[in-house]
Structure 1
Amino acid sequence: MKHIAGGLQWAVFLIASSIAAPIAIGHVFGMDGAETALFIQRTMFVLGLACIVQATIGHRMPINEGPAGLWWGIFVVYAGMVGVLYSAKEDALQALQSGMMYSGVLFILLAVFGLVGKMKKLFTPAVTFTYLMLLILQLSGTFIKGMMGIENVGDAIDVRVVLGSVVIVVLMFIMMNHKVPWISRYSVLLAILIGWILFLAIGKAPSITTVSGKWIDLPDILVYGKPIWDGGMVVTAFFITLLLIANMMASIRVMENLLKQSFSIETKDRVKQGSIASGINHMLAGLFSAIGPVPISGSAGFVGATRMASLIPFIIGSTIVVVMTIFPAVMSTFAALPAPVAYAVTFAIFSKMVEMAFHELAADQHQQQAYKVAAIGLMIGVGLMFVPSDSFVQLPGLVAAILSNGLITGTIAAVVIEQFLLWKGGKATRFD
């Protein structure tokens, strides 16, 4: 029974932490309500499958898959090309759908030729600290705005939403650290249920809308047509894949350290298998016209908060998500989860990741060098977060997508700076 309850908690966390991306992409492409609902269905279906693939043949750790932020950025860039390079939104989406498949093939090829394992050596404690801190800083603004009820530029702070969010955050912290084991283990599920009831009581929970009259509705495949050859997308997919591999390795490293330090669980090096699984998952994303998935570092915060390191609840939760997506009524219900509740719960979870980040930095054997690497990486990454995205519109699509993502650019800067300092001291990373 505890595995089922844990699985339900994983399912709720996976949906709550991933549903924003398909909604936002649907908005930028001008999709209507029905199109957006189907896009959400396909994305969640792929994410559930992706988690199962990773847990069984990939890295075999409880790391949930979420919509890759880099692909999210590329979707936004390509939405701006409609009417310029692409005559209709369907043409742009067809190119993106094909890009997922290109990326899937590249993931597998890089793993088979052994390049992924060599890249892992670059993720030292200093680089991992920089990555985690940039991830937290990039998302903290979104969490706070969501907890204040701010959805669009110019929206006023909603006092009732703020008070409700504060109550949930406080409850979440209390339950995460509760002495009763089952309360701390299911703190996320309990906080979401209490928060949903609270927001219903204060009149801030959206109503459930029906998007389909069918009881069961399987996700469609190749919604935007057959895969096509797009030279620009091939180049984009190549660089995006390299960056997603870096993201994947950072997430794996964070979870490995958590399992070792907090649960005394030793894990095998399965980065190669994880990359192959990511390739399969990207091809699934292309097949089902969804968003490319990537292992999410926030899983470590979730596992640390709930004390659930077992793979069984994780696989059950992923299976629940896959099954739920074929029932439109269930997906409509989850789509009605008040956004501030999800943001408040996630805020508490990510606070755990701040602790993990500093533990990483403390583990670096070269402290002074680590401080320099982290300082420069953070300044570059955070600085780019404050540059308006409109400022990049004149740049090539790939360059715009990378520079507009402070997380990736700051992490790359940290890797380059550290390797330069190591090379200067005659200790550069060897890949043989």
Structure 2
Amino acid sequence: MADAKQPGGTEAPDHSLIYGIDDEPPLPQTFALGFQHYLTMFGSTVAIPLLLAPKLGITDKHDLAALIGTMFFVSGITTLLQSTFGNRLPIIQGGTFSILAPTMAICGMTALADAGWQVRMQHVQGAIIAGGLFEAFMGYSGLVGRLLRFIGPVTIAPTIALIGLALFKFGAPVAGTHWGIGGLTIALIILFSQYLKRTHRAFELFPILLAIVIAWGVAALLTATGTFEPGHPAHVSTATLAASPWFRVPYPLQWGMPVFGAAAIVGMISGYLASMIESIGDYYACARLAGAPTPTHHTINRGIGMEGVGSMIAGIFGTGNATTSYSENIGAIGLTRVGSRRVVQAGALIMLVLGAVGKFGALFTTIPQPIVGGMYCAMFGMIASVGLSNLQFVDLNSARNLFVIGFAFFMGLSVPEYFAASPLTFEPKWLADICNTLGSTGMAVGALVATVLDNTIPGTRTERGLDAWETHEHFTDLPAGGEN
């Protein structure tokens, strides 16, 4: 039994944890609990390549299978690095929704309109590697702490909310390709995550996974009976699964050499800033639930620095995404009362092994698009509301705050529409590309507007919510890295 500690470093009752951060459960139990961590992060992780594939231009499901396998493989590497050499907390690392908007802006650049998907991926890889270098520098130099002085809930709320709102085009339009299956997916996620979560732990831990499996099974059954014929949006095709190799080990630069463009890099950094702030909140929550002392500035700096290193690795391998902490796995620590670092490391090994199994990645390419769209409806709506939840610290009776928040929201939604219709064309072209990429990324526009106004319009710390926010140990995070 672990001698757990409270956030301040004082001891908590022995019954608070079954296994503490330094405990080593028996090997079979370690891997069983590690597999549970893998299942907990599954839904959020697989959603990212499924969403990115159409924007990158991936049409071959064998390529999509390789991308999914790479995503899990790199998650295993980065989780091992973070839990062993980074902040050394039992924290899962995986893909982040924070950089989806800038990634899509890169894929939509005029210069890449006629490019193949590997070329688009190479530009995305370059931006992710450069962004990871920026994050590593911010962490290991200690500058991340200084940056936080200029960022409060008035800035964070519209920034994170706009991540979800910017993705509305991928919800109902995709689920609506067959509302029977898409609607079933949405209904099951709501049922499991909201109505049944207190009836059984499985519903609280795996609502998305359970919903996908059930809807997937229904679609497969209707495919087998001939109701969903080939070409139907909800048809489950196993051709890719049958043709895929049993083993495919991802390797660096598998899609080609990364391309580093100023416009892509500047746009990507806005996503990294949001990801860093989310992760800091996760470190406090993870330490509290795992019975570890409150993270020091050095612990936070090491954690952010290692996330930057992990993101560079993700860019080199070509996941199309960066890496961040997963707060749904932190929630799993609270539910299971197992905070062992060794358990998370076992989960990372499972990710590595399954990421190298070719048929594992191919299996998920058989998920019909209506199911993917239904998953997006629930997850992206949650992202938007999680962003708004940061306003609990702010004085919403203040006309100042209402103006800053409302203006940031409106501009974050409106400016990208302008740039989509009228992209800038002037010399030097690289500067025009930077402006177009930033202007097309609602999260970046909202963050810039909110940061400038919140730090220049007069207002007290209490009014801006800074005092309440700083004393609150766990800054609210995204559902992927996810929902607590």
TM-score under structure 2 length normalisation = 0.69
Counterpart residue number, 2:43 = 13
Q: Counterpart amino acid of 2:40? A: W
- Change over 3 Å in CA distance of 1:256–1:367 after alignment to 2: farther
Deviation at 1:129, TM superposition (A): 1.6
SS in 2 for 1:19: helix
Q: Counterpart amino acid of 1:338? A: P
Counterpart residue number, 2:150 = 122
Counterpart residue number, 2:308 = 279
Alignment of 1:21-170 (within 5 A): 21-27=51-57, 32-58=60-86, 60=89, 61-62=91-92, 64-66=94-96, 68-70=99-101, 72-73=103-104, 75-77=106-108, 80-81=111-112, 94=122, 97-149=125-177, 158-170=178-190
Counterpart residue number, 1:418 = 454
Q: Counterpart amino acid of 1:280? A: V
Counterpart residue number, 1:252 = 279
Q: Distance in 2 between matches of 1:195 and 1:406?
A: 32
Q: Counterpart amino acid of 1:10? A: T
Matched, 1:194 2:214: yes
Counterpart residue number, 1:184 = 204
Counterpart residue number, 1:399 = 435
Deviation at 1:418, TM superposition (A): 0.1
Q: Distance in 1 between matches of 2:333 and 2:425?
A: 45
Q: Distance in 2 between matches of 1:192 and 1:33?
A: 19
Unaligned residue ranges in structure 2 (runs of 5+): 1-28, 224-233, 427-431, 467-484
Counterpart residue number, 1:331 = 361
Deviation at 1:176, TM superposition (A): 5.0
Counterpart residue number, 2:19 = none
Deviations 1:161-210 (A, max 9, x none): 34423432443345553333343233333222222222223442421214
Q: Counterpart amino acid of 2:305? A: I
Q: Counterpart amino acid of 1:330? A: F
Q: Residues 131 and 410 of structure 1 are in contact (CA less than 8 Å); yes or no, is this contact kept in structure 2?
A: yes
Deviation at 1:130, TM superposition (A): 1.5
Deviation at 1:352, TM superposition (A): 5.0
Q: Distance in 1 between matches of 2:258 and 2:381?
A: 41
Q: Counterpart amino acid of 1:144? A: A
Q: Distance in 2 between matches of 1:54 and 1:367?
A: 42
Deviation at 1:377, TM superposition (A): 1.0
Deviation at 1:378, TM superposition (A): 0.7
Deviation at 1:293, TM superposition (A): 0.4
Q: Residues 107 and 275 of structure 1 are in contact (CA less than 8 Å); yes or no, is this contact kept in structure 2?
A: yes
* Structure 1 stretch displaced more, 109-118 or 167-176: 167-176
Q: Residues 22 and 39 of structure 1 are in contact (CA less than 8 Å); yes or no, is this contact kept in structure 2?
A: no
Q: Counterpart amino acid of 1:397? A: D
Counterpart residue number, 1:373 = 404
Q: Counterpart amino acid of 2:310? A: N
Deviations 1:329-382 (A, max 9, x none): 111102222343344345445555555444421212585133222111111112
Q: Counterpart amino acid of 2:450? A: A
- Change over 3 Å in CA distance of 1:267–1:244 after alignment to 2: farther
* Structure 1 stretch displaced more, 136-145 or 305-314: 305-314
* Structure 1 stretch displaced more, 324-333 or 130-139: 130-139
Deviation at 1:102, TM superposition (A): 3.6
- Change over 3 Å in CA distance of 1:388–1:210 after alignment to 2: farther
Q: Counterpart amino acid of 2:324? A: P
How many residues align structurally? 409
Among 317, 320, 334, the alignment partner of 1:291 is: 320
Taking only aligned residues, the RMSD between alpha carbons, in angstroms, comes to 4.0
Counterpart residue number, 1:152 = none
Q: Distance in 1 between matches of 2:121 and 2:413?
A: 30
Deviation at 1:109, TM superposition (A): 2.8
Q: Counterpart amino acid of 2:411? A: I
- Change over 3 Å in CA distance of 1:51–1:144 after alignment to 2: farther
SS in 1 for 2:367: coil
Deviations 1:203-230 (A, max 9, x none): 42421214855322211322355567x6
SS in 1 for 2:69: helix
Q: Residues 133 and 357 of structure 1 are in contact (CA less than 8 Å); yes or no, is this contact kept in structure 2?
A: yes
Q: Counterpart amino acid of 1:283? A: M
Q: Counterpart amino acid of 1:221? A: P
- Change over 3 Å in CA distance of 1:172–1:181 after alignment to 2: closer
- Change over 3 Å in CA distance of 1:294–1:389 after alignment to 2: farther
Unaligned residue ranges in structure 1 (runs of 5+): 150-157
- Change over 3 Å in CA distance of 1:128–1:217 after alignment to 2: same
Deviation at 1:79, TM superposition (A): 7.3
Q: Distance in 2 between matches of 1:19 and 1:212?
A: 20
